[in-house]
Structure 1
Amino acid sequence: MSEHHSNDNPTTLIDVARLAGVSPSTVSRILNGTAKVSDEKRQSVMDAIAKMNFAPNPMAQSLKRGRSMTIGIVVQDISSPFFDETLHGIDEALKGTGYASVIVSGHWNAAEEVDRIRLLLARKVDGIILLSGRITDESVLQFSEHRPIVSTGRSIQTQRALGFKLDNEYGGWLAVRHLIELGHRRIAFITGPANNCDAIERLAGYKRALQEADISYDPKIVVEGDFHESSGMRAINHLFETQQQFTAVCAANDLSAYGARLSLYRKGIRVPDDISLVGFDDLPGSSYTTPPLTTIRQPLYDIGRIATNSLLHLINGEAVETSIPPLELIVRETTRRIR
């Protein structure tokens, strides 16, 4: 047989095996990392691959292993910078693994999340990353019987399902504690959605910080938001329309804080000279607001990276040991000591 290989007859695994003087199965095992062979034999195979310009077919390899080499990612809002930062971490962790991702959106709707997860399972993804969401832990565990799942915002741990949960109550406490230490006692709070677990915990942190400082809780300066900028604007407008007295505002997320900041600006109120403002998330844009926003940093990028590495371990049936960086207060220029 001729050693010449045209584009019509690309190099095969058998050709590489013949040149290296080993069996085709040995070449295959060296390529997928399962071969226990001498360095000399491994090198001869790698040399043959280089000489013959052999490119393994990833689809054929994945089919042979019973894998699609794709993972599904369920986000709640593709347009949100909150999820964008986590997706960056996922993307970084997938580099060099041979895996591609399929991203779908659940829109904070449990029925839609279930539908999207079923869609991903039908596409034969090897595993799923669920970023936040409304479906129950029981549903996550049921779906994990079909494919491994890693989810943020929940505490579960089985051989096929893993959850990461940040201490949002502590984060809320940390934000309000900062304002109290600056002398503020009338601290307004813009909540997240009433049925959102993270938002509920952040409000609980607000209440705990007040209680520890012997400051009475006043529901009139607690306004419900929905994690979007417009709700931050509406909250500030409501506080002024109802003539509430406050010297600081704590928002349940950065986007709400952005809206609150704009509303205060339009009313001619200076931040932080007249009113201090704290957010929650530390989105990339929070370093560039006017002035730069004091906030609680969530390790969003790290969460994406850690969730991906954990899922790949679950797919391979390996043990998973992970730790997520804690929430931390990032003091910038929207808070100051009360005069």
Structure 2
Amino acid sequence: MNDTHHAAPPSTLLDVARQAGVSPSTVSRILNGTARVSDDKRDAVLAAIAHMKFAPNQMAQGLKKGRSMTIGIVVQDISSPFFDESLRGVDDGLKGTGYASVIVSGHWNAQEEEDRIRLLLARKVDGIILLSGRISDQSVLDFSQQRPIVSTGRQIATHNAIGFKMDNEYGAYLAVRHLIELGHRRIAFVAGPSNNSDAAERLTGYEKALREADIALDPKLMAEGDFHEASGMLAMNHLFDTQQQFTAVFAANDLSAYGVRLCLYRKGIRVPDDISLVGFDDLPGSSYTTPPLTTIRQPLYDIGRIATEALLALINGEAVQAAIPPLELVVRETTRRVR
């Protein structure tokens, strides 16, 4: 004869009220933080909740407040490890809040980003996180009239829209200054796409570090990439095909640096013995390249977590008090003093 065990049905708000000896409306108001009750009643309700392992229905509570309990997230490339780290921060920022996320991709296309934001608004999300992107600040402000928006890669601050921006120029400056301090003067630069603001700022930082060291800028040492591995390899091939002489390379992001590293490996050029290499981002894989990559660390996880906390504050009508940690140079094993 088989014994059949049935799981006990989940406790309800009415069960908690009976256990605590109060009305269901009192329990509801205590959960919502709106009840003015004696400490004894509040303690009795909290004890009953703990004893009965009562879990409020977050969706039902959201509907009562006119909320969907979802937030929209617009990334540019779902397959990129850059966005993986930020999304991990978003996910941790949502833990315990009752919110779920809806993730869409803008593919670095302003029109597509706007279409995706409209799609999220049509799904009645309570707010939107825009991780980088090409749409204008004005478009972000226009959309924020409908729902709160937190965006990275830009500086805006209104009652319904907040932007967090990293100092890309300073990060690139740190990278190139590190190479200069190691004695390098012929420093090649694998840039990002010319129509990308982050790439433009990193170019400015590269130029600033050279200028401060009285090193003449040589346009022949610069090759444009697109922030992907293949472009780093192609950029290096171009520099070698045009017979440029250099002892170090600064790549505008880690993915490009991976491509640079592969090109150097195939040509039998040792890193860092023959050529030093610096990236930008500090992706998780950069600690495990051969050799481990010297790079500029962006706090990608923190960006996602802080953006989420800021959005939830906007949704709840609270003041946003958050700041992104600064960029920093992480010295590993792809740089050494020039011979």
Normalised by the shorter chain, which TM-score bucket? Answer: over 0.9
Cα distance in structure 2, aligned partners of 1:265 and 1:299: 29
- Paired positions, count: 334
Residues 182, 7 of structure 1: alpha-carbon distance in 2 compared, 3 angstrom cutoff? closer
Residues 228, 97 of structure 1: alpha-carbon distance in 2 compared, 3 angstrom cutoff? same
Q: 298-307 or 31-40: which moved more?
A: 31-40
Identity of aligned residues (%): 80
Give the deviation of 1:36 after TM superposition.
Answer: 3.1
Query: Match for 1:240: what amino acid?
Result: F
Cα distance in structure 2, aligned partners of 1:53 and 1:219: 67
Matched residue, 2:99: 99
For 1:80-229, list aligned pairs within 5 A.
Answer: 80-229=80-229
Query: Match for 1:257: what amino acid?
Result: A
Give the deviation of 1:18 after TM superposition.
Answer: 4.1
- C-alpha offsets along residues 62-115 of structure 1, whole Å, 9 cap, x if unaligned? 100111111111000010000001111111111111111111111001011001
TM-score for both structures, normalised by structure 1: 0.94
Give the deviation of 1:282 after TM superposition.
Answer: 0.4
Asked if 1:46 is matched to 2:46, the reply is yes
Q: Aligned to 1:138, what secondary structure does the other structure show?
A: helix
Give the deviation of 1:10 after TM superposition.
Answer: 6.9
Question: Structure 2: which 5+ residue stretches go unaligned?
Answer: 1-5
Give the deviation of 1:200 after TM superposition.
Answer: 0.4
Cα distance in structure 1, aligned partners of 2:10 and 2:191: 61
Give the deviation of 1:21 after TM superposition.
Answer: 2.9
Residues 11, 295 of structure 1: alpha-carbon distance in 2 compared, 3 angstrom cutoff? closer
Query: Match for 1:140: what amino acid?
Result: V
Residues 76, 21 of structure 1: alpha-carbon distance in 2 compared, 3 angstrom cutoff? same
Matched residue, 1:33: 33
Query: Match for 1:80: what amino acid?
Result: S
Q: 23-32 or 87-96: which moved more?
A: 23-32
- Do 2:59 and 2:98's aligned partners in 1 also have CA atoms closer than 8 Å? no
Matched residue, 1:290: 290
Cα distance in structure 2, aligned partners of 1:187 and 1:220: 11
- Do 2:16 and 2:54's aligned partners in 1 also have CA atoms closer than 8 Å? yes
Q: Aligned to 2:124, what secondary structure does the other structure show?
A: coil
Matched residue, 2:323: 323
Cα distance in structure 2, aligned partners of 1:285 and 1:338: 26
TM-score for both structures, normalised by structure 2: 0.94
Cα distance in structure 1, aligned partners of 2:241 and 2:7: 74
Query: Match for 1:268: what amino acid?
Result: G
Q: Aligned to 1:90, what secondary structure does the other structure show?
A: helix
Cα distance in structure 2, aligned partners of 1:95 and 1:111: 32
Cα distance in structure 1, aligned partners of 2:49 and 2:299: 42
- C-alpha offsets along residues 189-210 of structure 1, whole Å, 9 cap, x if unaligned? 0011111110000000001111
Q: Aligned to 1:280, what secondary structure does the other structure show?
A: coil
Give the deviation of 1:323 after TM superposition.
Answer: 1.5
Query: Match for 1:123: what amino acid?
Result: R
Q: CA RMSD in A?
A: 1.7
Cα distance in structure 1, aligned partners of 2:322 and 2:167: 16
Cα distance in structure 2, aligned partners of 1:12 and 1:250: 60
Give the deviation of 1:117 after TM superposition.
Answer: 0.6
Matched residue, 2:63: 63
Q: Aligned to 1:314, what secondary structure does the other structure show?
A: helix
Question: Structure 1: which 5+ residue stretches go unaligned?
Answer: 1-5
Cα distance in structure 1, aligned partners of 2:282 and 2:11: 51
Matched residue, 2:309: 309
